[in-house]
Structure 1
């Protein structure tokens, strides 16, 4: 239901390959942010990844819906995630919203990839 609402409100505007790449990265970033696990993969996003898991980390979480869309230009995108989690104290919260912004970068060999941007 949530997924359908997002897709209706914000029609798809990315090629399927970009959409899949962005959704996979957005989900992985959310998992790292919400649980503390896997943060070392993105040192620019999580500069303190070598420290212990933050106290606010959720013990369990699930993604309820996710979409990837352009963000103003062909080389910018946002992954919009709606998720639920249980913190370490046992408090459940659903319909949490997290947005991850990405910029398309091109390597010297011409390969384009989506790079997550630090939160400001």
Structure 2
């Protein structure tokens, strides 16, 4: 138990609504499919808003486009974890984080490794 609250988005999945929820609820860790994150990133680019509380996102459900990972990490300093598996992540799934051997990588070199996970 870590004392975290669970924040659910409801039926509004557009970039503005997701941003409002993340900001209002001070969400630090979140998970979604690439389409949801793409809508959020497009909204952020259009408005110039930032993600003051968000530290890390999980991206799953399909392969994550390199541009999404690059924008989260480079523009908003948000760490990215890629999750992959069956729809409900059961009975099998994978979760990839950077190995300590790659901790010093930056920029394109880091994105190259993350794109292969």
Same fold (TM over 0.5): no
| Bigger CA radius of gyration | 1
* Greater RCO, 1 or 2 (C-alpha within 8 Å, sep 6+): 1
Structure with greater strand share of residues: 1
